[in-house]
Structure 1
């Protein structure tokens, strides 16, 4: 599966700072000092209802991670999946009387278009669950042979008790885990399971549903968590730098995936930092597919909204915060974009070297994009009020905003 085209990232004078970022697993900040190649895995969409503002906020956060690393002169090895076969996708296709593969392809194409418009840097490996099945099957077989998985009516489940580190990503108690498991795709009440939290690794073929040859597992399709594990291990290996996604993925998805990988390899941890973006609300409720209260990037673009303004609206909120999308949020971003573009269009301005360092410092401190925007606002205000004599300043500001914040002025 192909990703989307990459926008050029301008080179800036000097060098950026190492990223200090909040990890859910530690409950606090960790300083990431990767080697020459930084490694990141971000969980992708299940391709229906793409791309809503919650998606955009999440991928914006991890685009900033990449930009901080690139500014330190590192290479970035970024991997993202597409869950192009799963119960919610099949249910939506059935509801809308669509072929599930056509629905997945349509929504994935739309997601690519939105990511391109928003200048999100693409992954080096963009992998669908279906194309990953040949690599998933032997992993499930190995877990079963190791005694970490068991069969139940033809399905194969992972035993969470096989991982001594289970629970060290989300740090939730058993009651909270069970509740979230039921809400987020698990089946804690299924009779016969060794532990109510055990997640499915391989689902035996169901009538009327797609299935693939699973070798000794029989015909079926993979569970949700093992999909990301197989893709991450193939392309990144263990102990990569960042596992990312929305905060609703901390449990069960990232918790289960970590346990799968740790039992499979005997290594700990799967990732150095588990980083989670906050949720976006609309009209007082979390924006979600199930509620249908979605604001789509593609619709805003069709309405004539500049994608740079959408990106500024996202950047105006700290990535870990929960926040609400409103018309005012967008209007403020459109106005800010106009002020910034007017400021850099002048032939000279106040010196901007210090501004570049302010943006770098803000982003290195747990991706504090609101502080970075405030720093640019101060330079813009000086430009509009007093101007300056540095002929290189407007160009430097434009390049810095593009390189570090992904906003083209």
Structure 2
């Protein structure tokens, strides 16, 4: 390829990345605002904490149950079309929630069915889009693209819940209608991406070996396996999100307004770190920095667990978000940047399950431990365990610890 061709491809790719980023932001915003509305809507109907738990389960199960199929689809078909179709399906589910809210029914089971539909669409969208991203930017800009992409999602995580809560005051139908429109626009933007992948000589056959290739690949790559599993156990053990209402009400005594501030701080920290990494990418010592970030995350959780000061607690949560973003940045660069394009979808599908497991199971683990020993000891124990995991992973995965550069030069 000539220098002129490479330059033209770079400009072409960046334009496509902007479309990709806009779609990513719109879907993140829609998902976050809709999640808030669904939670409030279900609680209004049932006044049951267990009913809220079923909402999370309904959203998470499709990613686990469909992981092998969604990864295969992402590798066998045009990833743009898979993503656009998934966003269209999410738009349809949002409109279904809109119709249900307007109808005034009282049964909660149709809501669960629609949440499962949303979860299924996300299960197909995530691996396809994760696998698509590396093809939209030149190699030297890939790590920065990872950071910018993460910052867009985290920005949506800051804005979405607040917007959803504000619009919910006008009625749940307003939120569901807005989310449906956002998903539909994201679907259109994804279709407008001009990049076309090279035509496949043949699609991967639907065999167990083909479907499980992502799992086999991750197991064969100690750096990728170490990065994914480190991120899993860091959030699984050290996450304190599920216990924030207890801290706001019983430890810090700051009420709902303080709870909102606490919940926003990890996302603010993640956005700040993502912007920093986008402008100043990590050049050296990637593995060691990921391990250190996990240890810093754990230490910040320990201090948060012991804090009785709202400002200190907010700073600690800000630090956890920033540290977690370093881990996400390194992990996503390894997973998306080094996996062969022909199997990126299958590997990304497994990665998506790990991410979902760390978040959902982490909240479940926090609740169980808090019920047994109390909220403060549970948070402190979780943070200390995360530090232990960071130290242990340095020994279990020496290849990860020794990894210097984010991208291996081909």
- Specify if TM > 0.5: no
Question: More helix per residue: 1 or 2?
Answer: 2
TM-score, normalised by the number of residues in structure 1: 0.25
Bigger Rg, structure 1 or 2:
1
TM-score, normalised by the number of residues in structure 2: 0.25
